[in-house]
Chain A
Amino acid sequence: MITNNLSIRKATRLILSASFFLLVIFFSYTSQAQESDGIPTDESVVSAGESLFKGNCAQCHDIHEVVIGPALKDVHERRPKEWLLKWVKNSQKVIASGDEYAVALFNEYNKNVMPSYPFSDEQVTSLLAYIKVESTKEPVKAEVAAAGDAAGVAAADDSIPSSYLTAIFVVLIVVLILILVVLGLIISVLRKYLNESSELNEEDVEVVNQKFDLFGLLQSNAFIGLVIFLFTAIVLKTLIDGAFTIGVQQGYMPTQPIAFSHELHAGQYEIDCNYCHTGVRKAKSANIPSPNICMNCHSGIKNVGGASGVSPEIAKIYAAIDYNPETGEYGNNPKPIEWVRVHNLPDLAYFNHSQHVKVGGLECQTCHGPVEEMEVVYQYSTLTMGWCINCHRETDVNTKGNEYYTNLVELHEEHSKEPMKVEDIGGLECSKCHY
């Protein structure tokens, strides 16, 4: 047994040293390869590549997963750099040249055309450097962002001042009770003192020893009047408050025909709002995306969580645009998707997205709330006129670099040190929104 053990140890040692040796050789080989494939690994180059990748490639490519295009792990080893340079700059040209690999790749990925990018060789190289560095890393499980309850957050924001108020209120009550007790004590002491002193006549005694008549108080005109006044005031207040909520649909969260999750798309995948809502910077309506925009990604992504087949929700997109995922062909019988409007402004109010987003530079979340955390979209703001007006009173005009406002800012600064608010340039006027 001992010899056996010994031999095993020896063998293990041998294997270990051999593998160490092999590893050394491997690393030295790979380190040689790093120099020979012409892809640098400098941090600056990699970070330049990272920003290029996130800005241009990430919508269709991942390092470790197939998205719309192939996973890019070790792509620099699969294809020579010259080929990759050509491919990124104009993939269709490579396919047209009859390159076998390119044609096979194109067919494998449903003939989805990869757009051409006007990058310089250095830029593509930096992209490859980023991919190369990322390839050596383990795939990171996407962290599911905790879907915070927006309303809860809002309530928590408010709770700080309100807890102060409660404390003050409690203290006040305690003080009042104390005062009452002290007053009661004073009364009894005074009464005792007066009763003991014999200088009082009968009338005075009666006044001093008057019994507290609760029933009489309840029946008194003053009390009944007070009660009626309070009751009417409360009813009126409730009515008026109620009337102000008519037509206000804050929190409105209708069920949509497709269970589309903004939390997944905007939150987890960080797809820019403007990618789907194309009108937001150029038109009055932000636009509900048409299914052809969905198909940019979903012609490749047919299911969620790596499951095979077509997800029933994604199948609804295919039905809408009449797409056959088996053959990859489009039919002639599309049926538009009937989404339910979440944000309804009355017809008499004019609101233009581009004015607020492109000119005003507002974030979508300012009015729409944390959409990137919404599994189902709901109306975050009240969308009442008071809400609009309030924002126009408080918001500074985004005048930077916009010649339209240059003169206005100068005029404003002549008589005010405050920044120019929307209100200051007529933002509260009727005809800005009603015509």
Chain B
Amino acid sequence: MKETKKYWKGLEQLQNTAEFQEKANKEFPEYLPLTGEGDESSRRDFLKLMGFGLAAVSLAACETPVRKAIPYVRKPETVDPSNANYYASTYVSGSDVCPVVVKTREGRPINVEGNKMSSVSGGGTYPQVQASVLSLYDKERLQSPLINGKKASWSDLDAAVTGALSAASGKIALVSHSVASPSTLAAISKLKEKYPSLDHVQYDSYSYDGLTSAYEAAFGTKSFPLYDFSKAKTIVTFGYDFLGSAPNATLSTKQFASTRKLTDSKKDMSRLYAFEANLTITGANADYRTLIKPSQEGLYVAALYNEVASKLGAATIASKKIEDSATIKKAAADLLKSKGASLVVSGSSDVAVQQLVIALNDLLGSYGSTIDASKSLKTRAGDDKKFGSFVSELKSGVVGGVIFYNCNPVYDSAFGADIQAGLAKVKFSLSTADRKDETSALVKYQAPDHHYLESWNDFEPISGSYSLSQPTIKNIFDTRQAQDSFLTWAGVETSYYDFIRSNWETYGYPSATGFASFDAYWDKCLHDGVYDAASGEAEVLSPTVDVASIASAISSSYTLDNAGLELVIYQKASIGDGTQANNPWLQEMPDPISKATWDNYLTVSPKQVEEWGIALGDMTTQLVKLTVGGVSLEVPVLPQPGQAYGTIGLALGYGRTVAGKVANGVGVNAYPLIASKGGSLSFAVTSGVSVEPTSTSYQIAQTQTHHTYMGRETVVQEALLKEYQKDPQAGRHFPKIATAEGMVKPYAVSLWKGHSYANHHWGLSIDLNSCTGCGACTVACQVENNIPVVGKEEVLNRREMHWIRIDRYYSSDATKEDGYTAMEKASANPEITFQPMMCQQCNNAPCETVCPVAATTHSTEGLNQMTYNRCIGTRYCANNCPYKVRRFNWFKYHDNKQFDKNMAMNNDLGKMVLNPDVTVRARGVMEKCTFCVQRIQAGKLEAKKEGRRPSDADVTTACASACPSEALVFGDMKNPESKISQMLKIQSSDKGVESKEPRAYHVLEELRVMPNVWYLTKIRNKDEKAVKEEAEA
């Protein structure tokens, strides 16, 4: 077998310091303090406590507290206590929209999942959607309207607001993020009718103005085009993170993943080229990834354009020659080979670059196939120039009044300081934000909006695709829907609900067929949550781009040899633009790439870190002083392989000052660093960036440095596409075990008889090829299973509680022939593999055999059961687990002031989000993934009640349901009809189940623990020879 690549978990492992080795050998470091300072208990104290405890227990046992059972006064017909109800609704936060299905229990939403019927999201979710349900129960939301910070009634507020609006002299600005809701826009125009001086200003905290402006220039309308990655065979991205932070990434993820799935009948997949500075999720999933600086981006796009144009005989443009053109040549060849199924995308904020990309796509025939320019994505409608002129007007004092509709520009725009200064000069200022934030803290009137789970609303995220929001709970606080406020102030008597209904009679209903009445149509739409208006044959538009004028713009503003440092501002998969920063689930979600929690930091290439002389330790780094323009910040440094040398990355969404207990003071605010270039905002700062090391050390809480898999090729198995096409088992590792009869397959040797499953045999299949590492599963699992948030300190102590982690492996290009030293040498641009890892539900589980109290046992359905009430916390099981997926409750995380950031368990309101079907674990017990046994039991019961066998539709786990790329497939391996059985070609025998799918393998197969989780090999669509060699040949 060919020598596989060497994987390493982090730089700590790579450098393999003595400190790291020592820590890596211990899963649960015992030396860490468990108690506070000076808290040394003596033996006497222990005895006293024990004596008291015994007495208290026996006293408490004498009289059981009286528990009340309080039924409804009038039970709603559709609500049966303990049975869940599901409502289709739509998530909205900032500019983003995602159709969802909300699970409610006894009238309170407890879980949000993707709406599988949606053509907008493709049925998936992303971490922020999953976590949004906790924001509903955030105690720090505003509880009533406020005037000058004092509690007021809605009638007082309405009188004051209408008075002020009528009296306002000069322009009134209504500022919002992109509004993709047609009825909200209609309500705003009603307000405009009443107050003609009102102007609606939209902005996006992460702007794609360059892209939309380029489309305006090329097609005549400012819009965000619709990409279809499922049709693309070759994709080239220039810093456009369509699998991560880009708008509507769930749909692109689903589309992209569909091109990466391999079966016996489909042995081909797409190829992705990425050119970028920061290591994004998209870059991590690319087949070919090239490190470029933002200052070079235009030249690379131009080089690609010229390469394609010259082959097609079209005019080329004058441009500087790039140094490393091999990858560009290869990309161009691939694009041309798949002409008509090619796609080039860019995240650049430079209109010229975007126009060149449009021209390139036009050459490649992408319009009408992989790009639909006749439809647009309406969630990025922000206009930087208009927003910029609003800010300057505000600052100069000509604005008479300003209404902030659910936005926070003092924090989440590049002009926060200017807006803050301008607000002091405005007579009338109002915010509808649902909480006190950086902006609403400065306004006179606060008219808090409902949370989206309490609201009626409609959306049209993609032209012609509608979705509805409906309240799933009565408003918890004395808030009012912002649109109702607008209508009230506009003097319109109807409620927003009636307003939406009357609008919907005009949207899709006229073209809808098969409905007896509008009510029937409305009921159907409300039930499904989504409605796609019938669209005819899509009109294929062709762009008009003046390539020559672009050429000069590009060659003047891009250079190959920028000596200065360049800053790339990005959004993390967890926190995004920071709107939901006060959500502890998101703060504790490990970043897919850096695996860091509770912080933002400078991502710097390891070479640069060395040059700066930063002292690195185990999760320890140093602060540096970052100066951009006139703004200085002290930021920790995180060495990030795959970061282009000479560039640094910093995430938005942190450094909140007025957000709440969880978010305040976490990280630094990167918004003031955004550069404004000719009216357009640029998230790449190419000049005036300097970094000065300090001597202050700092700790970044990362979840991945302490589990060592180095050198074990049985963990990640991968192959190249060509190898796979020749031999579907390519890349598989077949361990052998030495016996008296010679080397045998591990499954031939066993101490155990094995289990036979008569009823069900649950299994999970994970396709490493379509997992993008986004992290939606981690948060979904946290919501479903009442997993506590432990806080930064405890993550530093390696005590995070997530049941599902996504292991991210960097690779080194060296092989064994080069020697171990070479293997340890970092590749500046590593390949990346994401591997979701949870309890493998082993059939020969090593944990089960060592539990002294039989708290972890095997079920007749293949589950490795964990019984919390039986567990005494010896932790033998965790010691014996080869996958390190068991978690120990070191503390009581609920009702504990020390963990008040764990807000789902520490106040009465937050507790409403807990899943009532899952125990909140006590201190001192082990816990782990249960394959969502509560969902399995519920699905089985539903089938039993109906007298049938359960199907795939009855049972799925939270992670599989959340996965936007459908990389996780859960099901009953005993049922030959199930998707997992067919996908893995499961064959059952007395010895257990076997998969006939050539790609399916078990992690650490040689241990013969026989997991019920199967992984499908990672296949890279790379050619065998390195790009350079090929170019030379």
- Residues of chain A at the chain B interface (Cβ within 8 Å): 246-247, 249, 252, 254, 278-279, 282-285, 287-293, 320-321, 334-341, 344, 346-348, 350, 352, 354-355, 358-359, 401-404, 407-408, 411, 425-426, 429-432, 434-435
Contacts and interface: CB of A to CB of B under 8 A. Distances in A.
Interface stretch (B12-20, B74-82, B136-144, B1000-1008): B74-82
Given A340-B67, A435-B933, 20 more contacts: A246-B58, A247-B61, A279-B80, A284-B82, A285-B80, A285-B82, A291-B73, A292-B72, A334-B73, A337-B70, A338-B68, A339-B71, A348-B868, A348-B919, A350-B934, A358-B945, A402-B947, A404-B940, A404-B948, A434-B919
A39 to B, nearest CB: 37
B848 to A, nearest CB: 11
Contact of A434 (B67, B69, B867, B941): B867
B977 to A, nearest CB: 13
B917 interface: yes
Interface stretch (B227-235, B659-667, B726-734, B858-866): B858-866
Contact of A354 (B61, B943, B945): B945
Interface string B831-873: 0000000000000000000000001010111010111111000
A348 B917 CA distance: 10
Contacts of A346: 869
A354 B80 CA distance: 12
Contacts of B934: 350, 435
Contacts of A278: 75, 80
B71 A249 contact: no
Which residue of B61, B82, B918 has the most chain A CB atoms within 10 A of its CB atom? B82
Q: Give the contact-size bracket for chain B.
A: 35 or more
Contacts of B941: 352, 354-355, 359
A403 B860 CA distance: 19
A282 B81 CA distance: 10
B861 A426 contact: yes
22 contacts: A287-B75, A288-B71, A289-B71, A321-B73, A334-B73, A335-B73, A336-B71, A338-B68, A338-B70, A339-B68, A341-B69, A344-B64, A359-B944, A401-B947, A402-B947, A407-B758, A425-B860, A429-B865, A430-B865, A430-B867, A431-B867, A431-B933
A284 B934 CA distance: 12
Contacts of B944: 355, 359, 402, 404
Given A290-B74, A292-B75, A340-B66, A403 B948 contact: yes
Given A321-B74, A340-B66, A404-B948, A430 B80 contact: no
A284 B68 contact: no
Interface string B929-941: 0100110010011
Contacts of A352: 82, 941
Contacts of B694: none
Contact of A339 (B58, B69, B83): B69
B949 A404 contact: yes
B759 interface: yes
Contacts of B861: 426
Contacts of B950: 404
Contact of B930 (A291, A355, A435): A435
A407 B947 CA distance: 13
A169 B917 CA distance: 51
A246 B61 contact: yes
B865 A431 contact: yes
Contact of B917 (A350, A426, A431): A350
Nearest to B58: A246
A165 B429 CA distance: 89
Nearest to B860: A426
Interface string B65-105: 01111111111000011110000000000000000000000
A404 B943 contact: yes
A287 B860 contact: no
B756 to A, nearest CB: 10
Contacts of B870: 430, 434
Nearest to B920: A347
B67 A403 contact: no
A283 B81 contact: yes
Nearest to A402: B947
Nearest to B61: A246
Which residue of B74, B859, B863, B934 has the most chain A CB atoms within 10 A of its CB atom? B74
Contact of B70 (A289, A293, A336, A347): A336
Given A411-B758, A425-B758, A426-B861, A403 B71 contact: no
A340 B172 CA distance: 58
B65 to A, nearest CB: 9
A248 B463 CA distance: 62
A341 B919 contact: no
A425 B758 CA distance: 8
A289 B865 CA distance: 35
Contact of A336 (B72, B857, B868): B72
Contacts of A404: 940, 943-944, 947-950
Contacts of B943: 404
Given A287-B81, A340-B67, A431 B930 contact: yes
A327 to B, nearest CB: 18
A74 to B, nearest CB: 37
Nearest to A344: B67
A396 to B, nearest CB: 15
Contacts of A289: 71
A431 B71 contact: no
B940 to A, nearest CB: 8
Contacts of B83: 279, 282-284
B80 A287 contact: yes
Contacts of B81: 279, 283, 285, 287
A430 B868 CA distance: 10
B62 to A, nearest CB: 9
Contact of B80 (A283, A402, A434): A283
Contact of A359 (B74, B860, B945, B949): B945
Given A278-B80, A283-B81, A341 B945 contact: no
Nearest to B785: A435
A249 B944 CA distance: 32
A404 B917 CA distance: 23
Nearest to A406: B949
Contact of B857 (A282, A293, A403, A429): A429
Contacts of A426: 759, 859-861
Interface string B41-69: 00000000000000000100100101111
A340 B919 contact: no
A293 B72 CA distance: 10
B865 A320 contact: no
A241 to B, nearest CB: 14
A426 B857 CA distance: 12
A-B complex: 10 closest residue pairs judged by Cβ atoms: A284-B82, A426-B860, A431-B865, A430-B867, A290-B75, A246-B61, A334-B73, A290-B72, A288-B71, A341-B67
A247 B868 CA distance: 19
Nearest to B106: A285
Nearest to A426: B860
A426 B61 CA distance: 32
A425 B857 CA distance: 16
Contacts of A247: 61, 64
A408 B759 contact: yes
B868 A434 contact: yes
Nearest to A431: B865
Contacts of A285: 80-82
Contacts of B937: 350, 432, 435
A257 to B, nearest CB: 10
Contacts of A350: 917, 934, 937
Interface string B866-907: 111110000000000000000000000000000000000000
Nearest to A404: B944
A432 B930 CA distance: 12
A282 B80 contact: yes
A431 to B, nearest CB: 4
A359 to B, nearest CB: 5
